[in-house]
Chain A
Amino acid sequence: MDVIVGGGVVGLSIAWRLARAGRPVTVVDPAPGRGASYAAAGMLAPVSEVTYTEVPLLRLGVASLRRWPGFAAELADDAGLEPGGLDLRSDGTLDVAFGADDMAVLDEMAAYLDKLGLPVERLTGRECRRLEPMLAPSVRGGLLAPGDAWVDPRRVTAALLAALERRAVPVVRERAAGLLHDGDGAVVGVRLETGGELRAERVVLAAGAWSTELAGVPVRPVKGQIMRLRSPQPLLGRCVRGAVHGASVYLVPRGDGELVVGATQEEMGFDTRVTAGGLYELLRDARELVPGVTELEVSDVVAGLRPGTPDNLPLIGPSGTQGLVYATGHHRGGVLLAPLTTAVLMGEESELAALCAPGRFRDFS
């Protein structure tokens, strides 16, 4: 049996793939779907989020985005949902700029993406506002990444849990307190907080920021505060992002009128307090982009912990310890990279697997 430690979008996706392949599997998590996946906005936006030093991350993201439509369709079917039940949408990301400085940044980004062979469109301010009439009139121009998509992570984890239940996969709602080792140091199971044990042929560590409490992985919590607003009618048709005072803010619309505004990035350890300053900055910046947001109802504010690695790439694959496999360290990309993560673990992506190989950090600590 395989034991998956961590019931976020990554751990549940792995459990689901293994169960579909006929493997006996158990998930351990005190509150499945309530960690970083619960806070996440669900942007599947590898193109609009690229930076100069992160081409490997872009490659992973593009490969995983390609897998998302099939993943979502199969999951919806397996969970007994209507097609489209995960609110997966692919109308692109619109990155907007206000002043001349921000326009220059967009120009540079467009040139860079063009060099990488990724299709983006440069738009004038008026073209941006024709696409998104609620944008502030002060928008000078934008960059549309037409292939970028997004999904509702809360619906995804709920669907994964439903699909696992239909396949009779046990989800143990307890915290894993430690790993069980045999005399040779191999991992042979998981010790539960209440004292119980789960024996396993293979333990998959997918505990996000908490992975570091179970194994010596270079993963740290990166706090993100995020806000959910609600309106009767959707305010936007696609993901909108922009830099305000140098800080990047994004707005992700859902079909049901929810609008997600995110997110701060803070190095605060295991702290999930929502702060006045965090919310203030999100709202201030969101209002610069879309003045109408101030009329919306605040439906949810939450802080989650992204599992950050030193190079922002995930750790997927054999840990170096017999019986222990890593699927953690997805940082800001857990939702995007979940389909690719399962594929890597199933041996379907050998070339990209090398980029995520945990062995790259052996000399790091």
Chain B
Amino acid sequence: MDDLIIAGEKFSSRLIMGTGGAPSLEVLDQALVASGTELTTVAMRRLDPASRGSVLDVLRRRGIKVLPNTAGCFTAGEAVLTARLAREALETNWVKLEVIADERTLLPDPIETFDAAERLVADGFVVLPYIGDDPALARRLEQAGCAAVMPLGAPIGSGLGIRNPHNIELIVEAASVPVILDAGIGTASDAALAMELGCDAVLLATAVTRAQRPDLMATAMKEAVVAGRLARQAGRIPRRRYAEASSPMTP
């Protein structure tokens, strides 16, 4: 499979993992290894990056790049502050920008997100914003200098899959930065579909961490992302109403 390139950095895995919801660090560790991920998000709120033995140590030990996220922020101001603290503590200028509109749906707030993205790009960050499946907003964020766009398939933790595949396709068509399907993945076929629609990568957490066997689901996701990518590159056949014999009916 070809490499994923974000802001000039290469990744051979197109599966980006989140760490939320894991029952223990050991379960998380096994799932991350099984997933083959090279990039993993960590919520910076309520995490002291200096403390030993935390989730950050698991990532460091496995050589997985840390992508700090601003989960839990409701305003652009909080998100910018959280990103700066993360940059200082983790020595990375990458940030997954996440500004939430309300606690019930956890849907991203487009206005605060755009505001924060502009400020963070100006401050030299590599910004990967989490957004709704809105092609217009995705386009604007790309123009504002974001390194990727991360539209949702469905609300965080819902496992509802990709509710509007058409919009994801529109975002992919228009984008010249990587499109990362973020949130909503429930099972492996959802991840494969995201890649078949043309997404460059998939980000997921709950689907793996809350599965009955997280390590097994992580393996399934890894394979699904590869399968979806290969299918996209191979080019699917057109859909037909009636059968077309695959071998000649008559000699």
Interface residues of A (CB under 8 A from B): 51-54, 212, 218-221, 245-246, 264, 266-271, 308, 310-312
Q: How far is the CB of B102 from chain A (nearest CB, A)?
A: 10
Contact A221/B51 with A52-B212, A246-B157, A266-B46 known, Cβ cut-off 8 Å: yes
Query: In the complex, which residues 74-131 of chain B have their Cβ closer than 8 Å to any Cβ of chain A?
Result: 103-104
Contact of A220 among B23, B53, B104 (CB under 8 A): B53
Chain B residues numbered 41-75 whose CB sits less than 8 Å from any CB in chain A: 46-48, 50-55
A53 and B23 CA atoms in complex are apart in Å by 7
Chain B nearest CB from A210 CB (Å) reads: 13
The stretch that binds A, out of B25-33, B170-178, B231-239, is B25-33
Q: Which 9 A-B pairs have the closest CB atoms?
A: A269-B51, A220-B53, A311-B26, A266-B46, A269-B48, A312-B24, A310-B26, A310-B25, A52-B212
B47 — which chain A residues lie within 8 A by C-beta?
266-268
The answer on a CB contact under 8 Å between B26 and A220 is no
User: CA separation between A220 and B47, bound complex, in Å?
Assistant: 12
Indicate if B214 sits at the interface (CB-CB under 8 A). Answer: yes
Apart from A52-B211, A212-B52, A245-B103, what 19 extra A-B contacts exist at CB < 8 Å? A53-B23, A53-B24, A53-B214, A218-B53, A220-B53, A221-B51, A245-B104, A264-B46, A267-B48, A267-B54, A267-B55, A268-B46, A268-B47, A269-B51, A269-B52, A271-B48, A308-B53, A311-B24, A312-B24
B54 near A310: Cβ-Cβ < 8 Å: no
B157 touches A220 (CB 8 A): no
**Pick the contact of A267 from B24, B51, B103, B214 — CB < 8 Å?**
B51
Q: In the complex, A311→B58 CA distance in Å?
A: 12
User: Which A residue sits closest to B58, measured CB to CB?
Assistant: A310
In the complex, A256 Cα to B241 Cα: how many Å? 73
Q: For residue B50, which residues in chain A have a CB less than 8 angstroms away from its CB? A: 269
* Contact residues in A for B52 (Cβ distance below 8 Å): 212, 220, 269
| A–B pairs, 5, beta carbons within 8 Å | A53-B214, A268-B48, A271-B48, A311-B24, A312-B26
Q: How far is the CB of A6 from chain B (nearest CB, A)?
A: 18
The complex places the Cα of A65 from the Cα of B27 at a distance, in Å, of 25
A276–chain B nearest beta-carbon distance, Å: 13
CA distance A176 to B211 in the complex (A): 42
B51 x A268 contact (CB < 8 A): yes
Mark contacts of B11-33 with chain A using CB atoms, 8 A cut-off: 1 yes-contact digit, 0 otherwise: 00000000000011111010000
A245→B48 CA distance, assembly (Å): 24
CA distance A192 to B214 in the complex (A): 44
Nearest Cβ distance between residue B141 and chain A, in whole angstroms? 27
Count class of interface residues, chain B? 20 to 34
| B103 with A53: CB separation less than 8 A | no
Nearest-neighbour CB distance to chain A for B16, whole angstroms, equals: 21
**Chain A interface mostly helix, strand, loop or mixed?**
loop
Residue on A with the closest CB to B103? Answer: A245
- Which residues of the other chain, A, contact B103 by a CB distance below 8 angstroms? 245
A311 — nearest CB in chain B belongs to which residue? B26
Residue numbers in B under 8 Å from A264 (CB-CB): 46
Q: Which A residue's beta carbon lies closest to that of B158?
A: A101
Complex interface bits, B182-223 against A, C-beta within 8 A gives 1, otherwise 0: 000000000000000000000000000001111000000000
A331's closest neighbor in chain B, by CB? B24
Question: Chain B nearest CB: distance from A81 CB in Å?
Answer: 36
Instruction: Return chain B residues, CB-CB under 8 Å to A311.
Output: 24-27
CB distance from B160 to the nearest CB of A (A): 11
A266 to B51, CA, bound (A): 11
Which residues on B sit within 8 Å (CB–CB) of A268? 46-48, 51
Give B149-177 as 1s and 0s: 1 = Cβ < 8 Å from A's Cβ atoms.
Answer: 00000000100000000000000000000
* A361 shortest CB reach to chain B, Å: 10
How near does chain A come to B187, taking the closest CB pair, in angstroms? 15
CB distance A267 to B46 under 8 Å?
yes
Q: Which residues of B contact A54 (CB under 8 A)?
A: 23-24
Asked whether A212 and B48 contact (CB < 8 A) given A53-B214, A245-B103, A310-B29, the answer is no
| In the complex, chain A residues whose CB is within 8 Å of the CB of B25 | 308, 310-311
Binary contact track B132-159/A, C-beta < 8 Å → 1, others 0? 0000000000000000000000000100
Which residues on the B side are within 8 Å of A219 (C-beta)?
53
How many angstroms between the C-alpha atoms of A221 and B50 in the bound complex?
12
Which residue on B lies nearest to A217, using beta carbons?
B53
Residues in A whose Cβ lies below 8 Å from that of B24? 53-54, 310-312
> Given the complex, which residues of A lie within 8 Å of B213, measured CB to CB?
52-53
Q: How many Å lie between the Cα of A266 and that of B45 in the bound state?
A: 9
List the B side residues contacting A266 at CB < 8 Å: 46-47
Which residues in B have their C-beta under 8 angstroms from that of A310? Answer: 24-26, 29, 53
Question: Nearest-CB distance from A247 to chain B (Å)?
Answer: 10
The answer for the CA separation of A172 and B197 in the assembled complex, in Å, is 67
Report Cα–Cα, A53/B28, bound state, in Å: 11
- A51 and B29 CA atoms in complex are apart in Å by 17
Which residue of A has the minimal Cβ distance to B209? Answer: A53
Expressed in whole angstroms, the minimum distance between the Cβ of A103 and any Cβ of chain B is 15
Docked-complex contact A220 and B46, CB < 8 angstroms: no
Within the complex, the shortest CB–CB distance from B186 to chain A, in Å, comes to 13
Chain A proximity of B85: nearest CB distance (Å): 13
Residues in A with CB closer than 8 Å to B23 are 51-54, 312
CB nearest to B30 among chain A residues: A53
What's the minimum C-beta distance from A159 to chain B, rounded to whole angstroms? 31
Chain A residues in 8 Å Cβ range of B48: 267-269, 271
B157 contacts across to A, CB distance below 8 A: 246
